[in-house]
Structure 1
Amino acid sequence: MNFKLMILSLFSFLTVQVVTVNALTISFIPNNVTIHEDDIITIEYNVTDFNATEDEEEFIIDTEDENIVSIERDVILSHPQLNLRGLFNVTGKFLGKTTVICKNVKTNLRANGDLSVIVIRKNRIIDTVFTVSVAIFVSIIYINLGCAINWSEIPTILKKPIGPSIGFCGQFILMPLLSYGLGLILFPDNPEMQLGLFFSGVAPPGGSSNIWAVLLEGNLSLSILMTTTSTVASFATMPLWIFTLGKVIFDKGNLEVPYTQITTYVLALVIPLAIGFFIQRKYKRFADFMKQILKGLSIVLLLFIIIFASVTNIYLFKLFSWKIIVASMALPWLAYVLGYFTAYLFGQPYSNSITIAMKIGIQNTGIPIFLLRFALPQPEADLITIVPVSVSVFTPIPLICLFICLKVWTRLSQKKRELKSNTGIDNLATCT
């Protein structure tokens, strides 16, 4: 027994000697850096404790992830002409974290000492331009909506609030549970992606659902009422879900809910609507003109948001995986289907059912993006926001398809009526 222990001890000693015999210690100055994408930073290195036994030993400085940073690849350390000091450049390529190391060219053994590198995104003018232009565009749309709403229908809706009740339950019970379940199924070992999807599910409804209510012949008054009540209710529901079920994913208790952001969203909804209501009451002709351009302006706004958002956040598309795509499609699309058929089973007409479905499935993805960027350090914040960004990209696809189908169906029906009308006229002329 003692003989075996002696053999094992001798083997372990020899193994350690083999691993460390040609090792060196390198220190980087600084030993951790944060740089922007495409920026270059110069790093100094110092070499100590070089224990080479051969006449020629070569070491290079390398990175663990070439997708995040690139560095000089020349052999910078060799024996016996060993450079004890030197400089090299690190270039940020993409968001993320990696480690710069020094390793033996022949054996790939790492030297003692490394450099931690974090790559983050630059603050760009295009991001500000996009935010401001969308805010202005949406304000104009909401003024139009205020002109188009039949305000007399709202008391009738409130007397029998079946539709708003279905939408409320779908928005604040179905969506959080659905996003949590999809996260567990698709990202079982990635709590960051679970967090991004869950935050997308607990967000208040998106204002674009009101625009789609116009384009898809939904109930605009019901849509506006549900948007307003759900947004106000999110003051309570968001922290409730985040600090209960959300803690299973993200157990940091210091996460703050952005009440200011939600308040700003409510005001951004109410004030333009009030302006539209005022125009409708005081300036009938102008209100009628605003109604006439509402659909065209809504289409322009949707195309603007989809195209501009894709261009602005195009860097995130590099991170798309099949799991992210499936999650981003499943969350809103399942909500559409479940919301529509639930409303249909409760006897709601098409206009109400499609409105409820959209109100449940369309999320205000700006809120989870803000939450994630507020709660997490960089670059994790930008990397995890790929989920709500992806959700916003795939959310309108079924609605666009439905809009095209409705337009084609309307056009075919119109042609069919015209054909019948012309046939009837020809038959009448023949009989005459």
Structure 2
Amino acid sequence: MEKLGVFLQCFVFALLVSNVLAVNITISNSGDNNDDDNSLYVFADEVEILKVCVENAEDISDLTLVAVSKDEDIFRIANDSLRFSVTTNETVEIGILGVFVGIEDIELKLERGGDVIKNGNHVIKVKRQPSILVVIYTWSITAWLLISYITMGCKMDWRIIREKLRRPYGVLIGAFCQFIIMPALSFGLAKLLNLDDAAAIGLVTIGSCPGGWLSNVFSLLLDVDFVLSLTMTFISTILALGFMPLNLFLYASQFTGDNENLKTPFFDIMIQLVTLVIPVFIGMVILYKFPKLADICLKCLKPFAVILLVMGLGLGTPAQLYVYFSDWEIFVAGVSLPFIGGCIGFGIAKIARIELKSSVTISLETGVQNSLLAIAMVRISYPQPESDLINRVPFLVVLFTSLEGTILTIAKVVVQKYFWKSGGEVEEVEIRNKGKHPEMIEIDGKKCITSVSVGIQVGEENSDNDDVSLDNPGFTKD
């Protein structure tokens, strides 16, 4: 009889519990809500209402609904109390105050007499307040990206690229580092640092990007193989059409979790990559068909690019201020990826016995990925707030890449000036043949045919020596 009594008690309790398991949560969002996403969207510093209704609980009294924010740095409960007395079919309105951009769960617990009968979570997504500054920053980044690709195309002389591709060791090593080493490295860093899903996707995205405009700039500033840098950037831009979606499929898909908005939009990315290749070929067509126009474009584009650079950096800090409040792991990822990638690229190049300048160029092309491409691509392809959370890492990567490259440039200048003085500097002079009968021009008192590129040793040593050895059969003395 005692066992029968215990069984009946358990049976009655099970019936009572079954009546409260049907808890429906309906969402009321006066803001911008995605119809395909049941999450509650709220802007920072604003309040949205989450409506919770308990149904089919006629036989149970003394019910209490408890709402808890899992991260009050992202959102808080705006009500005076976190506990709400509920009855059957009663709707409770819970105010959600957005604090900072992010994605976190609200925990809902249904209690009776202090015991938890049922609990569950619901996703809260906090978005940044709309700002004209963010719009201007986004468009300036997009314009900056397009101009950098057109400028790169205007410098792409196919004859020079063909010469580099005849012995493509440096280009092949660079492609291997960019599309095999860097994506795997970014994935490993994301796992090692235990980044949140959005930050991990951002790290893998920047690790899967090709080289870009910034690597060409630092190749010039550091006086390494600029032609190789341009060739590698051009080739990696073409290869990215296939390798970037592939690497995102292999690595980024590991971090999408249950959030459908984090899934990689492969079709959108392919369209953007194809679209960005077009400006490169436009620049090349301008160079070949309208060389004078190419010269004018280069003269005009450089100042315009400087203006966009200043705008990007000047607007980037206030527009992306939320990035600076990221966790320390995200900062470590932003510093580590370009530095470790550059070191690996340099090491592989030296193991392959590539000469020093070309090895440094490969290092730059490996470590300095196209952060502008990653930022623009993420902003266009992903919804808010996912795009803001993903872009934290690419923004920090471009920031620290610029800082690291600037430090290297300053160090090079200081070392050359004070610790490693040489008798002269090599000045590259490129002269194009403008007709069938090349004219003789005079450079530093020497005559040279205009159809070749010559390297002239200038400085004290050269001024005292009338015998200048140049690899140019058209070079003659006065």
Calculate the TM-score normalised by the size of structure 2.
Answer: 0.65
Equivalent residue number for residue 99 of structure 1:
106
**Map of 1:70 onto structure 2:** 76
Cα pair distance change 1:87/1:160, threshold 3 Å: closer
1:147-296 paired onto structure 2 within 5 Å:
153-187=160-194, 193-244=199-250, 255-256=266-267, 258-272=269-283, 274-275=285-286, 280-281=291-292, 290=299
Question: For residues 11 and 197 of structure 1, do their structure 2 counterparts lie closer, same or farther at Cα, with a shift above 3 Å needed?
Answer: farther
Are the equivalent residues in 1 in contact too, given 2:286–2:293 (CA < 8 A)? no
Aligned mates of 1:137, 1:229 — CA distance in 2: 20
Pair 1:155–1:376, CA change in 2 (3 A)? closer
The total of aligned residue pairs comes to: 404
Equivalent position of 1:30 in the other structure: 27
Matches of 1:172 and 1:78 in 2, distance apart? 54
Query: CA distance change for structure 1 residues 186 and 137 in 2, over 3 Å: closer, same or farther?
Result: closer
8 Å Cα contact 1:42/1:87 also seen in 2: yes
Contact 2:44 2:128 in 1 (8 A): yes
For residues 5 and 375 of structure 2, what CA distance do their matches in structure 1 show? 59
Unaligned runs of 5+ in 2: 29-37, 258-262, 425-458, 460-478
Partner of 1:130: 137
Shift of 1:207: 2.6
Higher helix share goes to which structure?
A: 1
- Name 2:46's counterpart in structure 1: 39
What is the distance in 2 between the residues matched to 1:170 and 1:416?
33
3-state SS in 2 of match to 1:34: strand
Query: 1:262, CA displacement in angstroms?
Result: 0.3
Q: Which residue of 2 aligns with 1:118?
A: 125
Aligned to 1:385: 391
Corresponding position of 1:329:
335
**Match of residue 315 from structure 1:** 322
Deviation, 1:263, is 1.2
8 Å contact kept, 2:145–2:373: no
Is the CA contact 2:105–2:123 (under 8 Å) kept in the aligned structure 1?
A: yes
Q: CA deviation at 1:338?
A: 1.9
Query: What letter corresponds to residue 315 of structure 2 in structure 1?
Result: F
Distance 1:156 1:42, change over 3 A: closer
> More displaced, 84-93 or 152-161?
84-93
Q: Which has the higher contact order (CA 8 A, sep 6+)?
A: 1
Tell me how far apart the structure 2 counterparts of residues 307 and 244 of structure 1 sit (CA, whole Å).
36
Deviations 1:17-63 (Å, cap 9, x if unpaired)? xxx9xx9999766366322223333456668869777xxx9987653
- 2-structure distance, mates of 1:78, 1:142: 58
1:167 to partner: Cα distance: 1.0
Q: Which secondary structure state, in structure 2, belongs to the residue aligned with residue 330 of structure 1?
A: helix
On the 8 A contact 2:49/2:95 being kept in 1, the answer is: yes
Identity %: 25
Go from structure 1 to structure 2 and tell me whether the alpha carbon gap of 1:302 and 1:172 turns closer, same or farther (over 3 Å shift).
Answer: same
Partner of 1:204, secondary structure, is coil
Taking a change above 3 Å as real, the CA distance of residues 393 and 12 of structure 1, as seen in their structure-2 partners, is: farther
Q: 1:231, CA displacement in angstroms?
A: 1.0
Paired position in structure 2 for 1:428: none
- Note the C-alpha offset of 1:276: 5.5
| Cα distance in 2 for residues equivalent to 1:46 and 1:146 | 61
User: Aligned partners of 1:339 and 1:115: how far apart in 2?
Assistant: 45
Give 3-state SS (helix, strand or coil) of 2:104's partner: strand
Instruction: Give the distance between the partners of 1:86 and 1:244, measured in 2 at CA.
Output: 44
Distance 1:311 1:122, change over 3 A: same
Give distance in 1, aligned partners of 2:281 and 2:79. 58
Normalised TM-score (structure 1): 0.71
Q: Which runs of 5+ in 1 are unaligned?
A: 422-432
Q: How far, CA to CA, are the matches of 2:48 and 2:6 in structure 1?
A: 47
CA distance in 2, matches of 1:43, 1:155: 63
Q: Is the 8 A contact 2:221 2:409 kept in 1?
A: yes
C-alpha contact 1:261 1:367 (8 A) present in aligned 2: no
C-alpha change, 1:30 and 1:234, in structure 2 (3 Å) is closer
Please state how far the C-alpha of 1:228 moved relative to its aligned partner: 1.4
Please give the secondary structure, in 1, of the residue aligned with 2:76. Answer: strand
Displacement of 1:368? 4.6
Kept in 2, the 8 Å contact 1:145–1:276? The answer is no
- Decide whether the 8 Å contact of 2:214 with 2:368 is kept in 1: yes
Higher strand share: 2
Contact between 1:28 and 1:44, CA under 8 Å: does it hold in 2? Answer: yes
For residues 21 and 142 of structure 2, the distance between their equivalents in structure 1, rounded to whole angstroms, comes to 57
- How far has the Cα of 1:124 moved from its partner? 3.9
